[in-house]
Structure 1
Amino acid sequence: MNATDDVQESDTSPTRVLVVDDHEVLATSLSMVLDAEPDLTSVGVARSLEQARTLVRSTQPDVLLLDHRLPDGDGVSAIPELRALREQMHVVVLTATAADHVLVAAIEAGASGFVSKTRGLAEVTAAVRAAASGEALISPEMLARLLPRLTRSSGARHQELTDREHEVLGLLARGMTNAAIAAQLVVSVHTVRNHIANLSAKLGAHSKLEALSIAVREGLLPDR
């Protein structure tokens, strides 16, 4: 699922982004780049989890760019706590050379995806826009590798999905974009978005990746 695929602006207010990274040069650069974009705005820079908690409360960001290694703890482990402070906030994990178990933990914690610190700044801004629109920031290849490693449990706790929603969920698990799913099902992209919105609401998910994580945990996807 490409970060720039199918991203739509849903309102005219800038997407509010909080950068959490203890590397001052990188964090400041990201903040400046975000502020230079007309549809994005940096609401602050936190260099620790303690500062992140304070700024999430006070600035109410839409997207959190979160380093997974911080001086006072593991950023990935803190995702549920940080998202509890602002439920509708999307979390994008900044990675350097994160191992698969770190990425799996991030997915299970509710991250919308990942962006590498080695990528260009333009790719980071594209990732922020994608996360804000609920896109999954992960390649089909990585998704196929990581999904089987997610924790599984028995029994669903959420509303039952329709047959079509199950079908769309299965196509999402293959890493297909909204446009590709629409072509596969011979429906409009708008219809696909509605199906994704409905199944996400039933699962209590705020992004595609979170929906897939919950679906795996609750046995809604076949063994891969």
Structure 2
Amino acid sequence: MSGQHDGPEPGEDAPIRVLVVDDHEVLATSLAAVLDREPDLRSVGVAPTLEKARSLVRTTTPDVVLLDHRMPDGDGVAAIADLLRLRPSLRIVMLTASAADHVLVSAIEAGASGFVSKTRSLNEVTAAVRAAASGEAVISPEMLARLLPRLHRGGRSRHEELTEREREVLDLVADGLTNSAIAERLVVSVHTVRNHIANLSAKLGAHSKLEALSIAVREGLLPDS
């Protein structure tokens, strides 16, 4: 998981609004309490079901959702598309325990911003929230390298729609680099990198950096992909 981030994007000084979606009451309320103790984070609710999650996304306008992939009324991964339709700017971080690779791949392709294990420390969970809010892919380079070959391939290429610099940024994203690391490599500002990622994501129809990467793999936009 990338613990690096460039600061929250939802607002200059506004706290990052987080919705916790998990049917384990003790875990969910504990996470919400931890979030509320952080000056730059705010819990906007706890949802024990996907139905409640959809309702709270409509009414509380969160920036980030921490989403369990196993919910009593459905599959959390399958609900990602619904949540993003309700709020396209939403960043969704999957809460995982021992999810199989095919589940993680499906989450990436659905638009998740990344993953955080339930066994991680609370500090790592809050770092994941901040990273997702700032547009980072919340995934370790090792996990990315493992999952990248498993992403689905095939489909029409939009290669001509991306600029040379956007393709260069996309390649560095595939290498697991954070926005800050990409900026350093290209000798540009982090703001410029964010703009490139926002532009290429819009061209590919992606909600997150990871989803943009999955579309790029599917459409053959990456070297040797």
Q: TM-score, normalised by structure 2?
A: 0.92
- 1:81 maps to 2:82: yes
CA distance in 2, matches of 1:14, 1:183: 27
Quote the offset at 1:165 in angstroms: 0.9
Residues 32-43 of structure 1: pairs in structure 2 closer than 5 A: 32-43=33-44
Q: Deviations over 1:100-153 (max 9, x none)?
A: 111001001100000000011111111111111110001111111111111122
Deviation at 1:220, TM superposition (A): 1.3
1:87-126 matches, cutoff 5 A: 87-126=88-127
1: CA distance, partners of 2:223 / 2:96: 29
* CA distance in 1: counterparts of 2:147 and 2:101, whole angstroms: 7
Determine the C-alpha separation between the residues in 2 that align with 1:13 and 1:162: 33
What is the rounded CA distance, in whole Å, between the counterparts of 1:15 and 1:89 in structure 2? 11
Q: Which residue of 2 aligns with 1:219?
A: 220
**Identity of matched residues, %:** 75
**Paired amino acid for 1:5:** H
Most deviating of 51-60 and 194-203? 194-203
Equivalent pair of 1:7/1:135 in contact (CA under 8 Å): no
Match for residue 168 of structure 1?
A: 169
**Aligned equivalents of 1:49 and 1:158: distance in 2?**
36
* Structure 2: distance between partners of 1:184 and 1:37: 32
Counterparts of 1:102 and 1:64, CA distance in 2: 18
1:3 matches 2:18? no
Q: Which residue of 2 aligns with 1:31?
A: 32
Mapped partners of 2:159, 2:17: distance in 1: 30
Consecutive unaligned residues of structure 2, counting only runs of 5 or more, are none
Q: Does 1:148 align with 2:149?
A: yes
How many residues of Structure 1 are paired with residues of Structure 2 in the alignment? 224
d(CA) in 2 for partners of 1:169, 1:187: 15
Q: 1:49: Cα distance to partner?
A: 1.0
The answer to whether the 8 Å contact 2:159/2:221 transfers is no
Aligned partners of 1:18 and 1:64 also within 8 Å: yes
Query: Is the contact made by 1:3 and 1:135 (CA closer than 8 Å) also made in structure 2?
Result: no
In 1: Cα distance, 2:61 partner to 2:159 partner:
28
Unpaired runs of at least 5, structure 1? none
Are the aligned partners of 1:112 and 1:209 in contact in 2 as well (CA < 8 Å)? yes
Matches of 2:28 and 2:208, distance apart in 1? 25
**TM superposition score normalised by structure 1:** 0.93
Bigger mean CA offset, 21-30 vs 49-58: 49-58
Do the aligned partners of 2:97 and 2:119 also contact (CA within 8 Å) in 1? yes
User: Using the alignment, how far apart are the partners of 1:145 and 1:82 within structure 2?
Assistant: 27
Cα drift, residue 178 of structure 1: 2.4
